[in-house]
Amino acid sequence: MSGTSCAAFVSDKVLKGDMFMATDLTDEIAKIQEVKDVVESAIVLVRSIPTLIAKAKSDAIENGATAEQLQPLEDLVLALRASADDLANAVVENTPAADDPVDDPADDDE
């Protein structure tokens, strides 16, 4: 569920009186969305760095560098790709799907 749809869901529930909220969660919801946006930006950045390194490696080879000299860069590319995949997987694993029902604590009383 995206931050916006989550906020809309909570607001709808509160307005309909389906949930009693002792505090306003607007700030917390905004913070969650901000973190999500930062994480998504980090994924894009980490995934773009290997392309930049590959270009630099190609330029270096054209200017006389050897593949052996540039192996540390290739190792870095592989590590960055793995990190980007790990980060993306963590985000996916910890983000509920839009069609997942939201657990309503009021239902626990039944």
- With 80 as the cut, is the pLDDT of residue 22 above it? no
d(CA 78, CA 95): 26
Q: Which pLDDT tens digit goes with each residue over 54-84?
A: 898 899 999 999 989 999 988 988 888 888 8
Could you give the CA distance from residue 51 to residue 41 in angstroms, rounded to a whole number? 16
- Tell me what the mean pLDDT of segment 81-93 comes to: 83
d(CA 20, CA 65): 66
Distance CA 110, CA 33 (A): 32
Q: Is 19 helix (H, G, I), strand (E, B) or coil?
A: coil
* Tokens linked to 61: 């080879």
Can you give the pTM of this predicted structure?
A: 0.46
Average pLDDT, the chain: 77
Checking if the pLDDT of 89 tops 60, the result is yes
Distance CA 84, CA 92 (A): 12
Task: Residue 36: name the closest of 98, 96, 99, 91 by CA.
Answer: 91
The pLDDT value recorded for residue 42 is: 83
**What is the rounded distance in angstroms from the CA atom of residue 76 to the CA atom of residue 48?**
13
